[in-house]
Amino acid sequence: MTTSRQNDPIVGIDLGTTNSLVAYCDEKGPRILPSPEGQHLLPSVVRFDEQGNPAAIGTEARRHAVEHPTRTVFSVKRLMGRSRDDVAGELAYLPYEVVAGDQNTARVKVGDRVLSPQEISAMILRELRRWAESALGTTVRRAVITVPAYFDDAQRQATRDAGRIAGLEVLRIVNEPTAAALAYNIGLQPAKPSTVSLSTKFNAAACATPASCRDNSGDVADASPDTAPSQIVAVFDLGGGTFDVSILRLAHTQQGIVDQVLATAGDTHLGGDDVDRLIVESLQRDIQSQFGQHIAFPPATRQAFRNLAEAAKIRLSDEKEAKIEIDLGNGRSFQRTITRDELEQMVQPWVQRAIDCCRLALKAAKLTHENIDRVILVGGSTRMPVVRRAVAEAFVTDPYTALNPDEVVALGAAVQASVLAGTNRQVLLLDVIPLSLGIETLGGAVAKLIMANSTIPARATEMFTTHVEGQTNVSIHVLQGERELVKDCRSLGRFDLRGIPPMPAGLPKINVTFLIDANGILNVMAEEQRSGKAARIQIIPNHGLTREEVARMENESFAHAQEDMSAHRLIDLKNQAKLDLRAIDRQLQRVADELDADYRREIGDKVAAVQTFLDTDTPDLDAFHHALDAMDKATVRLAEVAIRRTLSE
């Protein structure tokens, strides 16, 4: 091997049944590498022409799958390393032809050409390699590729062969659940006895005896809890077409990360596609009920149904209802609104099948939910609130959701690749909070809840309120940085607190809690105290920042401290002034008839003085503060009169 090849980047690849991704990890941490067009997910679909040559890969192939059913190959991962007899149960789900090749191995026949699953997978891998080379600006020859934990040696070798056909040296085959755990930095470094995660329910008895652990390449290494502190992790992987749950023990030794898959369970025909199908069947029944049983659904209409069903399912993960409109032709139009409650009732048996598999896996591992330290969600279907609630109830702990469930396996593969490449990954390890964490407040200021260099675990809660009359939704914007204004800090994520009863500005009491555990996972929770409405988000706060960037941001905060504090103080004064002016206006409208003319004039003068500062771009802050204080003192009697009026009504 040449030196130049040894210096080539090593990428991580999630070669998925439904979608595939490529990622890379450097000193900034792991990131997904997009296509030249900015696409992150590559559908694992290849369309062939009539001669059996690839005509389209990815989104274009999937978009026209209904028009070319026998020449569009998807879910080829299910055929990897299998005989035709092994996949006999799959054939009813596949519109293309699967034939027996040498030694009865499964092959795909397209026209007169017969292709192995490895050749078709290599086409997908070549496309991902093209994406990576475009994003990194260099040749990519080496990769770590993930496989399901239950893949046997033949399936793993078939995956290696696909990589070789694609021109990639596959340095390591990593179990998908292990990759997901690595993406969260679980088990990557020895545990510190003095550090206890707030979300951990570690049971020492589960690791009380030496274990024989299997590393990512399939070789066996011995690991003892004396030298390899371990964690028991459950990975719940619910994708588009398949489901599996893996219970594994992760540990760190002098030889690196080792994992032992304690148990797996799953269903190869349980996934988001089933939810789409349930929605489509419901729509078709309603259409036939409205327009008659004779109405037909040609291929183009069926494709439209699938697209609309998938879009509605995705929308219902964030919203309470989704409206569907379908043009049936001949002047006929069908409209239907699906609520989240309706969808959750529809999919309850589907969710229960997955939870039953979890119970089987725990039983096979001879464990209970109390032995599980972490639960990680993988696969786009885990975005559904009903799934997340069911998983939390089954394992009696909140699952990890900070990373995109579509991307977490590829990110973990990139982490393993960086270990093989010798890249310094300490940037991802948090012993202290490197930068302050807070939320955006009205006017673009940052309210910091956890300060830089706080040791973890850490927790902080502050109360906020609204500044708009009758506001029913509040957007929570989570930020990282040392500066005082949003524009100078790094955005980590946003979420909405919805359904707050309409109240006057300033009346709602919204508790915002930041909780960061020993693995650096930040949970941000917001709850309106009067109504009990709550929402939350989970984030990894320092992903994508090197130590040099952290230092730069700290230095900038020192250099701009004076101007930042002045800007923040001005925002706070203006927010308080606007809130007070609204309250005074409301009170005057109610009780002005009880006030003498001189007192009303005094209030008017104080209000006018504050309004002048509000209308000035760069007011004197001390003078502004004194004017606001004078207005507050002058309106004490007004507030007392308003309270008496309220009590007497």
Instruction: Supply the pLDDT for residue 539.
Output: 81
Q: Which of 81-95, 139-153, 243-257, 474-488 has the lowest mean pLDDT?
A: 243-257
- Give yes or no for a cis peptide into 399 (omega within 30° of 0): no
Q: Which of 119-133, 316-330, 419-433, 476-490 has the lowest mean pLDDT?
A: 419-433
Catalytic site includes residue 14: yes
Residue 299 has pLDDT above 70, yes or no: no
Per cent of the chain over pLDDT 90 is: 34
Beta strands in 6-118, from DSSP E residues, in sequence order: 10-14, 19-26, 29-32, 42-43, 45-48, 54-57, 72-74, 97-100, 106-110, 113-115
Instruction: Report, as an integer, the average pLDDT of 184-192.
Output: 53
Residue 166 has pLDDT above 90, yes or no: yes
Instruction: Supply the pLDDT for residue 206.
Output: 26
Residue 58 has pLDDT above 80, yes or no: yes
CA-to-CA separations, 154 to 101, 147, 159, in angstroms, rounded: 15, 12, 9
Cβ atoms of residues 169 and 142 within 8 Å:
yes
Residues 6+ apart with CB under 8 A from 480: 435, 436, 437, 489, 490, 492, 541, 542
Instruction: Supply the pLDDT for residue 131.
Output: 97
CA-to-CA separations, 557 to 24, 433, 551, 560, in angstroms, rounded: 30, 16, 10, 5
CA-to-CA separations, 273 to 43, 213, 365, in angstroms, rounded: 14, 35, 29
Q: Which of 12-21, 77-86, 295-304 has the lowest mean pLDDT?
A: 295-304
Reported as a single tens digit per residue, the pLDDT across 564-593 is 778 888 888 888 888 888 889 888 888 888
Instruction: Supply the pLDDT for residue 5.
Output: 61
Which residues are bridge partners to 326 per DSSP? 334
Instruction: Report, as an integer, the average pLDDT of 619-648.
Output: 85
Instruction: Report, as an integer, the average pLDDT of 514-541.
Output: 84
CA nearest neighbour of 544 among 25, 23, 28? 28
Q: Which residue has the higher pLDDT, 73 or 251?
A: 73
Reported as a single tens digit per residue, the pLDDT across 193-202 is 322 222 222 2
Catalytic residue among 77, 448, 533, 574: 77
Residue 550 has pLDDT above 80, yes or no: no
Catalytic residue among 176, 406, 488, 517: 176
Catalytic site includes residue 563: no
Rg of the Cα trace of the chain? Answer: 29
Residues 6+ apart with CB under 8 A from 272: 238, 239, 240, 241, 310, 313, 379, 380, 381
| Buried b / exposed e along 73-94 (16+ C-beta atoms within 10 A) | bbbbbbbbbbebebbeebeeeb
Q: Which domains does the chain have, with CATH numbers?
A: 3-175 (3.30.420.40), 198-267+354-407 (3.30.420.40), 272-347 (3.90.640.10), 430-559 (2.60.34.10), 563-648 (1.20.1270.10)
Compute the C-alpha angle 385/391/397, nearest 5°: 110
Instruction: Supply the pLDDT for residue 387.
Output: 96
Catalytic residue among 14, 127, 161, 482: 14
Reported as a single tens digit per residue, the pLDDT across 609-618 is 989 888 888 8
Phi, psi of 298 (to 5 degrees): -65, 170
Catalytic site includes residue 86: no
Residue 98 has pLDDT above 60, yes or no: yes
Catalytic residue among 161, 237, 373, 517: 237
Phi, psi of 259 (to 5 degrees): -140, 145
Catalytic site includes residue 323: no
CA-to-CA separations, 325 to 303, 581, 582, in angstroms, rounded: 14, 46, 43
Query: Taken in order 601, 607, 608, 610, is the CA torsion positive or negative?
Result: positive
Instruction: Supply the pLDDT for residue 545.
Output: 60
Residue 191's pLDDT band (cuts 50, 70, 90): very low
Residue 122 has pLDDT above 90, yes or no: yes
DSSP class of residue 485 equals B
